[in-house]
A = this chain, B = another copy of it.
Amino acid sequence: MINVAVLGYGVVGSGVVEIIKKNCESISQKAGQEIRVKKILDIRDFDDTCPDKALITKNPEEIFGDDSINIVVETIGGAKIAYEYTKRALECGKHVVTSNKELIATYGPELLKIAKNNNINYLFEASVGGGIPIIRPLNRCLAANEIYSIVGILNGTTNYILTQMKKDGKDFDVALKEAQKNGYAEANPTADIEGHDSCRKIAILSSIAYNEFVDYKNIYTEGISKITLTDIKYAESLNASIKLVAMSEKVGDKIVARVSPAIVDKDNPLYNVEDVFNAIVVKGDAIGEAMFYGRGAGKLPTASAVVADIIEIVKHWGSCGGYDWNVAEGSNVIDIMETKAKYLVRIKTDNESEAKELVNSLYGNVEWLKPLKVQQKDELAFVTENILEKEHKEKFEVISNSEAVRELVNTIRIL
């Protein structure tokens, strides 16, 4: 019998308890031992309608001091008390399973080291892609590959908003409110819409794929709050969609990584990923291209990934399948200014010929887009060549300050 304690009876934590109870028989069969939840830590008060009230305690000592508890599930979130409890559990020799991407992205190397030194596991399949199996496939199933790149839609909230804008012609603010109403976005949506959530996730995936810690703080991150319906129409005119894309790529012994809105062509498998779905495309030297797709969030999908990690630990009891995250000296992520990109650029001008002349003189060669039906008369749009970000930045600055151009409306990367 394996005893599990769940720290934090929120959405994911209560889902973990629910799944272990519901699929108890098949889970125990697959794990080779019976698994049960012995204690739940939560400081809130629960009334009698809570089905797990009898297991809930406010006292962490009932968990850390109980040697019969072998596995701790951390679903508190954040990187403060969750950090403290995770460290303590690992130091007590308890395996820890989590869905907490912030904690892994911030303290991953330290916590994984403690786990390794204690010959126990610290697993986090649920931290990226909700229920989509991605961490273990990357680490195990694709282990024979040198991974070249990871490109994904890692945040369901922003993908839902962008899908609503495209399908129903809703403005960003309206689509965001609807996402909040439907429970797909939080009251404070910053972490999602500004790309911070995707940034932590691509940092975790990259750390696994390239076998060294990639610090999320070094990853350039741009959200979707500046994307308008007109931008989406331009993307459509290019047979493409706008998605919040998180990517990383191995270049020599460094990594190129970024999170930003990107224009995704119809032929790209990410083009068809809509609503709250996530998808991750992995390229490796042997496998070529593989994609993993599914619901990237939600109570039961995420909880099912947590429970899968528990089963894995129990099945291979005594064998530690931990990760080594070497921490590079200095940043292993190439400065975004030294990476290349191709842009859609929208400008407003009162003097079309002068503006075009300026742009052509700056870029040498751009593709001018046909005017859209929705477009205002004073607007022009073009697609640049693939050049260094720092060169784009200089050119955007010249465009912004030129008298021929009244406004640099928006610039969006092309994937």
A residues bordering B, Cβ < 8 Å?
15, 19-20, 22-23, 26-27, 29-31, 125, 131-133, 136-137, 139-146, 211, 269, 272, 284-295, 298, 300-301, 303-308, 310-312, 315-319, 321, 324
Q: Is the CB of B137 within 8 A of A133?
A: yes
**In the complex, residue of chain B having the shortest beta-carbon distance to the beta carbon of A20:** B144
- 19 cross-chain CB contacts under 8 A: A15-B286, A23-B144, A26-B211, A27-B144, A29-B211, A125-B141, A131-B287, A131-B288, A131-B290, A133-B140, A133-B141, A136-B136, A272-B272, A286-B303, A286-B307, A287-B300, A288-B298, A292-B292, A316-B319
On chain B, the residues within 8 Å of A311 by CB distance are 140, 143-144
Q: Is the CB of A286 within 8 A of B19?
A: yes
Q: Is the CB of B146 within 8 A of A141?
A: no
- Contact status of A146 and B23, CB under 8 A, knowing A137-B136, A287-B304: yes
**CB-contact partner of A316 in B15, B286, B291, B316, under 8 A:** B316
Q: Is the CB of A136 within 8 A of B140?
A: yes
Which of A23, A143, A305 has the most CB atoms of chain B within a 10 A radius of its CB?
Answer: A143
In the A-B complex, the 7 residue pairs with the smallest Cβ-Cβ separation, listed nearest first, are: A133-B141, A144-B307, A286-B304, A290-B294, A131-B287, A291-B293, A133-B137
Which of A144, A294, A310 has the most CB atoms of chain B within a 10 A radius of its CB?
Answer: A144
**CB-contact partner of A136 in B22, B141, B307, under 8 A:** B141
Q: Is the CB of B143 within 8 A of A290?
A: no
Q: Is the CB of B285 within 8 A of A23?
A: yes
Q: Is the CB of A291 within 8 A of B291?
A: yes
Q: Is the CB of B143 within 8 A of A133?
A: no
On chain B, the residues within 8 Å of A312 by CB distance are 140, 143
**In the complex, residue of chain B having the shortest beta-carbon distance to the beta carbon of A288:** B295
**In the complex, residue of chain B having the shortest beta-carbon distance to the beta carbon of A311:** B143
14 new A-B contacts, CB < 8 A, other than A136-B141, A287-B295, A316-B319, are: A20-B144, A26-B146, A26-B211, A30-B211, A132-B287, A133-B137, A143-B311, A144-B307, A144-B310, A145-B304, A286-B301, A287-B301, A289-B294, A319-B319
On chain B, the residues within 8 Å of A308 by CB distance are 140-144
Q: How long is the Cα–Cα vector from A305 to B141 in the complex, in angstroms?
A: 7
On chain B, the residues within 8 Å of A31 by CB distance are 143
On chain B, the residues within 8 Å of A310 by CB distance are 144
Q: Is the CB of A290 within 8 A of B292?
A: yes
On chain B, the residues within 8 Å of A140 by CB distance are 133, 136, 308, 311-312
**In the complex, residue of chain B having the shortest beta-carbon distance to the beta carbon of A274:** B267
Q: How long is the Cα–Cα vector from A287 to B272 in the complex, in angstroms?
A: 20
Q: How long is the Cα–Cα vector from A148 to B160 in the complex, in angstroms?
A: 26
- Contact status of A301 and B288, CB under 8 A, knowing A143-B27, A144-B19, A308-B143: yes
